[in-house]
Amino acid sequence: MSRNLTVKDDRVVVIGAGASGLAAAQALRGRGIPVRIIERANRAGDAWYHRHPQLRLNTHRQMSTLPLLAIPKATGAFPSRDSIIHYLGDYAARLDAPIDYGVEVTRIDRTRSSWVVTTRAGDVKGDGLLQFVQCGDRFPERRVGSARRRGNGPHAPTSRARKVIRRRKTIPKDPLTRLG
C-alpha cells in the first residue's frame, strides 16, 4: 500500500514521538514553524512501555519536564515509568502538531531543495523547503540516499566514545550521523 503523504504547510518532519521528538516539535511550534511528527509505534513514548515496571527517573521531575507542561507534583520528586508514560501521552495529546502513528521511516533522500522521507506508508515530501529532525535511535537502515552511513564513532556512554568525542573538532554534516 502506497500513499503520498505530501506536506503542504509542514516544513519540518520530526521522526519519533518520544520525549525528544515531542520537545523538538514543541520548540519548533513555539517559533511558529509548522511541523509534523512521524512515529513508528502506535503511541507516544513507546520506548517507556518496554522499560522495567519499577523504573523511576533518577533526575528530579523539574529537571525532566518538557517545554510548557510540567510533570505533575503528584508523581513525586522522581516519577515512575508509568507516570512518564502518562505524561508523554498527555503531552502528545496537547501538542499542536499532527502525529502520524504506526508509520515507519525506511529511507531519507536529499533532493535539490528539499528532503524526501520514505515510509512504509508512502513518501513525505514538501512543496518548499522540507527539513527533518531525527529523534530516537530506531532508524534501522541508517542511510541517506543510497549511500550507507559510515560510522563516526561509538555510542557516547562507552569510554572509547568519550575519547572519540574529545578528538572531534566539528559536528558531522550528515543529518543522520549520531555518535552511536
What's the pLDDT tens digit per position in 74-113? 999 999 999 999 999 999 999 989 999 999 998 888 887 7
Query: For 112, how many CA atoms within 13 A lie in the half-sphere containing its CB?
Result: 1
Which residue type, as a one-letter code, is found at position 139?
F
User: Does residue 162 sit in helix, strand or coil?
Assistant: helix
Per residue in 61-73, pLDDT (tens digit) is 999 999 999 999 9
Q: What is the residue whose three cell numbers read 515531542?
A: 22
Entry pTM: 0.71
CATH topology of domain 12-148: FAD/NAD(P)-binding domain (3.50.50)
Residue 164 predicted with pLDDT over 70: no
Q: Which residues pair with 116 in a beta bridge?
A: 109, 125
Every domain of the chain and the residues it spans: 12-148, 151-180
pLDDT at position 161: 45
Q: Which three cell numbers stand for residue 47?
A: 520506548
